[in-house]
């Protein structure tokens, strides 16, 4: 009898230990199944499983199974999901301060973006933490350009066209409207039909997204300079991240950073290929003269100098921190505005 009792206690202890150190993290993603983002997520999941000797597993829900980014964020907040892949637009839904790096005509090129992302990493983590989220890793996700039915060189050219932009993107929609552009909020599934019906004439998208959604046969003009960078990130609720044993957390972050580094390279190659395909199928790239670029820069700078966007929708302190880092970069890199 005593032997049976001891055996029962041992089995109970083994079961309890197994339960304590077994964790499945549920992650939502709007990235289509088998896309580069989806493949990278699965590679990260495999690495986390290896690092934790199988005690931590990641279950991925790709292709918008969990809904759009708003839906997915809500499910994280109520505990139905643990984490998600989030775009620039989704970061804005966590906190509009997280849109700061994607404000138009602030960051000029890839090297400048690399510099400020490194410098502002802790600031972004802090903003997310204040909202109950943990930033695991982030990466670049291309640059926005203007695609339009009629050529756009100067701001006045865009004012004459109806501009489609993603529904719910409050900061950028407010910026564009304040500058006098005719903005029509639309979900991505409506972009093409909007152009076909004449409801809209222009969009602000990355070349890769323009190719994927097949808008370029109608919006077949692209302005050749970049408007703003796009970002992508993996975030978890702090509640869920605390469930991960502390001994694994930094290794998990390092593994995610490594995999997203490879994704950044692959994404840039895909974007170059997408642009080439569009050029071969009727896309025209329009080059803006120096005075046109200066006019675009001026209207945005004037807007940022006012209280309205900066100081209301985006923290003036966060904005000033970004500007200071950009000035540092230009000073140390020998930047010449001419």
270's CB contacts (< 8 A; 6+ apart) are: 36, 208
Domain count of the chain? Answer: 1
pLDDT of amino acid 13: 54
Flag whether 326 is in a domain. Answer: yes
84's CB contacts (< 8 A; 6+ apart) are: 27, 28, 29, 66, 69, 72, 73, 76, 90, 234, 235
42, HSE (Cβ side, Cα atoms, 13 Å): 11
Which CATH number is 308's domain given? 3.40.190.170
Flag whether 338 is in a domain. Answer: no
For the record, the structure tokens of 173 come out as 């929609």
pLDDT of amino acid 132: 95
Distances 157 to 39, 149, 305 between C-alpha atoms, Å:
40, 11, 24
What averages of pLDDT result for each successive group of 10 residues across the chain (338 residues)?
58 51 90 87 96 96 89 94 92 91 93 94 95 94 94 96 86 91 90 95 93 93 93 95 96 96 89 94 94 94 89 92 95 68
Flag whether 56 is in a domain. Answer: yes
Give the separation between CA 322 and CA 223, rounded to whole angstroms.
Answer: 26
**Domain span at 287:** 2-333
Flag whether 146 is in a domain. Answer: yes
Closest Cα to residue 113, out of 232, 266, 204, 229?
229
List strand residue ranges (DSSP E) for 122-210, in order: 133-148, 162-166, 182-186, 202-205
| DSSP letter (8 states) at residue 13 | H
Read off the pTM.
Answer: 0.85
């Amino acid at each position: 009898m005593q032997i049976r009792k001891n055996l029962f206690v041992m089995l109970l202890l083994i079961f309890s230990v197994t339960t304590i150190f077994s964790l499945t993290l549920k992650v939502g993603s709007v990235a289509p199944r088998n896309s580069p983002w989806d493949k990278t997520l699965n590679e990260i999941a495999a690495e986390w499983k290896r690092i934790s000797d199988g005690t931590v597993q990641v279950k991925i829900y790709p292709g918008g199974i969990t809904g759009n980014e708003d839906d997915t964020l809500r499910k994280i907040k109520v505990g139905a999901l643990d984490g998600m892949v989030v775009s620039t637009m989704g970061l804005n839904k966590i906190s509009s301060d997280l849109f700061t790096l994607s404000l138009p005509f602030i960051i000029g090129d890839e090297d400048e973006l690399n510099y400020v992302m490194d410098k502002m990493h802790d600031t972004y983590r802090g903003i997310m933490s204040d909202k109950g989220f943990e930033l695991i890793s982030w990466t670049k996700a291309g640059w926005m350009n203007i695609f339009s039915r009629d050529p756009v060189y100067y701001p006045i050219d865009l004012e004459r066209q109806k501009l489609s932009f993603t529904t719910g993107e409050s900061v950028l929609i407010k910026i564009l409207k304040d500058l006098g552009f005719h903005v029509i909020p639309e979900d991505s599934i409506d972009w093409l039909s909007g152009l076909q019906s004449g409801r809209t004439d222009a969009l602000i998208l990355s070349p890769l997204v323009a190719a994927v959604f097949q808008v370029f046969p109608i919006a077949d003009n692209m302005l050749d300079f970049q408007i703003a960078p796009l970002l992508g990130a993996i975030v978890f609720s702090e509640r869920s991240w605390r469930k991960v044993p502390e001994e694994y957390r930094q290794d998990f972050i390092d593994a995610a950073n490594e995999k997203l580094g490879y994704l950044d390279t692959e994404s840039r190659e895909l974007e170059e290929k997408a642009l080439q395909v569009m050029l071969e199928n009727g896309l025209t790239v329009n080059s803006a003269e120096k005075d046109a670029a200066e006019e675009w820069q001026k209207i945005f700078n004037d807007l940022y100098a006012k209280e309205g966007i900066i100081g209301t929708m985006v923290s003036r302190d966060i904005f000033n921190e970004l500007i200071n880092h950009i000035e540092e970069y230009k000073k140390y890199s020998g930047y010449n505005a001419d």
